[in-house]
Structure 1
């Protein structure tokens, strides 16, 4: 058995693959059921479907919490049972099962939290905020997918986001133009990627260690530069123009999804283009075939004339540029100023999205949206006056990340040569 086969076997031996999904769904069902029983909430939850920007107005929807929680819990139990039946028959339960389970679980949790609250659940604002928080994660995840598909573990996404945010605000302020700031952010991501690629590909240093060191280095460097450069020169170096919302006619008038998806800024629209473009390129073009070849079977790729290490190097640089765009969102959209450690661990959540998304650009983006939604729930619950403890809400996105990775990582396999340097014989 080859070393690659042994590594793949080690990765998949944690639990039988068929049982990973039913175990995860069953645990989630038990936890939610215990929450609803131990801390019951009574009364109605009101969901507000309008934000005042569309011509067509939808009425508020009031749902009785007791009925919703009972019905949804029964449905979750049925989905868990179905997943066990599919596992016993050694067939796939279907991709719709975890998706439907997640939607129902989220709806039940929000209903439980909003029952009897003083305010209404602002559905449009909740989804809009989720996308805003997910955009940096999605660009970081796209960079992670490309880098790891090429065979380089990209633990340095956090550093790429942070340096991208820093150079984005500096370039944008100096030029008084957010597009120049965006270019600066891409350069920042590529600088971190260059160091990662040089050490991992040319000097064969352990890639995870290089990534961790780069994150610490960029964090310290940006903090130092923030203190000595940006603080005393705030108006000239740390006050950039921002991308404003661009309303797409007709599409932005669609109730609920219109304001959420089609009244966004340039970087969000850029994400709409980047995700299908990366997905198409990865699976339908010569570039994607070469990229996947050097990440799966580098020696075979070498025998057919593909230059493995140069291919890896330039794709890691491309990955850094994408992650840099995610960093730009912090300073060119969220706030017009850079603050120390402002990414707040987003790069590690993006890395979890890469794993949860099975190294696929579309799935990784959906995972980023899930984590962004979980993060935004704390803002929504605080706005409606729910008595759910703030400490619980603060840890919610990390709990979701942990459940997602632990619950589904056993079903997936990284590219075979991911993290393995290639030495031409």
Structure 2
């Protein structure tokens, strides 16, 4: 196998696994920049994966090739709706953020598997979808010598979209009035309040964006990797996205880059067989690697990364 073919396989597989992590890590960034700790990203991904798969199976024949893309919107919508629980608990009722997010992570798989059994004759998983995202070759760009084959041939289009969304998210947070206000309520909500900024409104915005992006991340996972929904469709990706957000220092661009790194870690079981040095290793190590790398990264960088000053702190007006 030629070097360009190996690099194409590595790059394409990395992007496929990175795409759901990018969207979800961006969602976590919005939430925590507003001051709401969000460990419930896993649950939001699960809801998005379930809703998008059901939509795909129901309307795939009618909508054709547009189905997986519309399914992303459906996943994002249901992820947003599900995130209202976290927003209400932490902002309106001032519950502990970690406990609220943990409840979402426990509730989502049980609820979605239960609904799967109702919708699909008692089965614990949905049928395989017929309309998936697959790979994409960029016309013109794929003809560039070497680079075209490595970067733009049989790759993940949604991953490129996710990278663009990451750049737009950075601009939104750091170059728009809404983004600056959202960050201000995560740094010093009392000061923001004295300036007339509605702290609760912007914190709701942050959590709802996290739900939408988390739902899209779960939908991408179901539409491009697992191709169905079951209890194991989302198996730790939400926590990897959380780690990517921390690794990226709560910055959309940093979170995007970190998510690509974790995508590479997740793709090791597949790309290991194409790299001569790695092909001789026991595949079990590749299956363990993503989770081990996540733990190592958190141990190394969690103490060094500085979260928004008011992250995790409930705000009571007048106190």
Instruction: Specify if TM > 0.5.
Output: yes
Distance 2:133 2:281 in 1: 34
Q: Distance in 2 between matches of 1:154 and 1:256?
A: 41
- Counterpart CA distance in 1 for 2:116 and 2:181 is 40
The structural deviation recorded for 1:244 is 4.1
Q: Is the 8 A contact 1:172 1:179 kept in 2?
A: no
Structure 2 gap ranges (5+): 61-66
The C-alpha deviation readout for 1:298-350, integer Å capped at 9, x for no partner, is 01111111000011102211121111111111222224322223111100011
Of the structure 1 ranges 267-276 and 192-201, higher mean CA displacement relative to structure 2 is found in: 267-276
- 1:406 and 2:299 matched: yes
Q: Secondary structure at the match of 2:279?
A: coil
Question: How much has 1:183 moved relative to structure 2?
Answer: 1.7
Q: Residues 391 and 247 of structure 1: is their aligned pair in 2 closer, same or farther, counting only changes over 3 Å?
A: closer
The aligned runs of 1:160-239 (5 Å cut-off) are 160-176=44-60, 177-230=67-120, 239=129
- 1:366-389 deviation line (CA, Å, top 9, x unaligned): 111111112222222235573322
Distance in 1 separating the partners of 2:128 and 2:118 = 12
Alpha-carbon distance in 2 for matches of 1:233, 1:309: 41
Whole-angstrom distance in 2 between the partners of 1:289 and 1:141: 19
Assess if the C-alpha contact under 8 Å between 2:4 and 2:150 holds in 1: no
Equivalent runs, 1:235-246 vs 2, <5 Å: 239=129, 241-246=131-136
Kindly indicate whether the alpha-carbon contact (under 8 Å) linking 2:79 and 2:212 is maintained by their aligned counterparts in 1.
yes
- Could you say what the CA RMSD is over the residues aligned between the two structures, in angstroms? 2.3
CA shift for structure 1 position 398: 2.0
Cα distance, 1:129 vs. partner? Answer: 0.7
**Does the residue aligned with 1:410 lie in a helix, a strand or coil?**
coil
Q: Give the Å deviation of 1:257.
A: 4.4
1:232 offset after TM fit, Å? 5.8
- How far apart, CA to CA, are the structure 2 residues paired with 1:244 and 1:392? 27
- Pairwise CA distance, 1:266: 4.5
From the superposition, tell whether residues 348 and 292 of structure 1 become closer, same or farther in structure 2 (CA, over 3 Å): same
CA distance in structure 2 between the aligned counterparts of 1:194 and 1:277, rounded to whole angstroms? 24
Q: Give the CA deviation at 1:233.
A: 8.7
Name 1:247's counterpart in structure 2.
Answer: 137
Number of the residue aligned with 1:132: 16
CA contact 1:226–1:340 (8 Å) conserved in 2: no
Q: Does 1:291 align with 2:182?
A: yes
The superposition leaves residues 28-80 of structure 1 with CA deviations (integer Å, 9 ceiling, x where unpaired) of xxxxxxxxxxxxxxxxxxx73233xxxxxxxxxxxxxxxxxxxxxxxxxxxxx
The residue correspondences of 1:249-398 to structure 2 (distance < 5 A) are 249-255=139-145, 257-263=147-153, 264-383=155-274, 386-398=279-291
361-370 or 291-300: bigger deviation: 361-370
| Partner secondary structure for residue 36 of structure 2 | coil
> RCO (CA 8 Å, sep 6+): is it higher in 1 or 2?
2
TM-score (norm 2): 0.89
In the alignment, is residue 424 of structure 1 matched against residue 314 of structure 2? Answer: no
Q: Structure 1 421/242 Cα, relative in aligned 2: closer, same or farther at 3 Å?
A: same
Quote the Cα distance in structure 1 between the aligned partners of 2:263 and 2:136: 21
**1:50 is the counterpart of 2:4:** yes
Whole-angstrom distance in 2 between the partners of 1:411 and 1:256: 39
Deviations for 1:133-182, whole angstroms, at most 9, x for unmatched residues?
A: 11111111000101000001110110111110110011222222223312
Return 5+ residue gaps in structure 1 as ranges: 1-46, 52-121
SS of 2:281's partner is coil
Count of residue pairs brought into register by the alignment: 309
How far apart in 2 are the matches of 1:214 and 1:307? 26
| Structure with greater Cα Rg | 1
Question: Is the contact between residue 132 and residue 224 of structure 2 (CA under 8 Å) also seen in structure 1?
Answer: yes
Q: For 1:287 and 1:357, locate their aligned partners in 2 and report how far apart those are by CA, in whole Å.
A: 22
Tell me: CA distance 1:328–1:208, structure 2 relative to 1, closer, same or farther (3 Å).
same
State the TM-score, normalized to the length of structure 1: 0.68
